[in-house]
Amino acid sequence: MNTPASPETTPIGTVLIDRTEISSRIAELAGEIDAAYASLESPLILLSVLKGSILFLADLARSLTVPVELEFIAVRSYEGTQSTGSVELVKDVSMPLRDRDVLMIEDIVDTGTTIAFLHEHIRRHAPRSVRLASLLNKESRREKSVTVDYVGFDIPDRFVIGYGLDYDGIYRNLPDIRVLDTDGD
Ligand code: IMP
Ligand code: MG
């Protein structure tokens, strides 16, 4: 059998940010976002970048008091712990964004390649505004200049898993953010 180890019996890696810190930081971010979008013309579109951002989206959306709609977009840009450097659109948005306020929701901004690509792509839909909220930010790895309007946590250059973040598709369901120690990478 080659199934992933259960997080209950075999915790993987070491905790970098625990669930309590995540939840209190999201409450703070929600306060900032509510204040920034206090005078909306139509509901704010929370544009979740699949799949990594969905836990952040779920908690942030429930902490916001401004009216929101949820929308999803999917890209592929990363394999294992190495960025491929190129971004492929896997699923486009399925609603008009013209003249709407869009807040992109990301799990992590690393080199910035994904967000630079998405920003460009979304602007072609002629929204009223586009901003970005990312739970995590690895500033030291930046290759593309991007603005992260709302940052949950700045983290060092380590590969992290949990709370939406994966290693080859697994560990997204871990409730804390952990550093995955990989040998030889
Ligand atoms: P970027 O295009 O280099 O900014 O990478 C963005 C994407 O790479 C994120 O949306 C994640 O899916 C993935 N990624 C970057 N760093 C990590 C990490 O430490 N753990 C898990 N996924 C990561
Ligand atoms: Mg990912």
Q: How many residues does the chain have?
A: 185
Q: Which of 78, 153, 170 to mutate to test the pocket of ligand 1 (most atoms within 8 A of CB)?
A: 78
- Give the pLDDT of residue 78: 58
Tokens 């509510």: give the residue.
Answer: 34
CB 7 within 8 A of CB 32: no
Tokens of 4: 């992933």
Kindly report the number of other CB atoms within 10 A of residue 173's CB atom.
Answer: 11
Q: Is the CB of 163 under 6 A from ligand 1?
A: no
Decide if domain 8-80+96-179 falls under CATH 3.40.50.300. no
Residue with the nearest Cα to atom 11 of ligand 1? 108
Tokens of 169: 């598709």
Instruction: Single out the residue of 135, 114, 134 nearest to residue 177, CA to CA.
Output: 135
Q: Which band of pLDDT confidence, cut at 50, 70 and 90, is reported for residue 82?
A: low
- Give the pLDDT of residue 80: 55
Q: How far is CA 102 from CA 59, 140, 166, in A?
A: 18, 27, 25
- Give the pLDDT of residue 72: 98
Taking only the tens place, the pLDDT of each residue in 86-116 is 888 999 999 999 999 999 999 999 999 999 9
154 part of the active site: no
pLDDT at 184 over 50: no
Q: Is the CB of 83 under 6 A from ligand 1?
A: yes
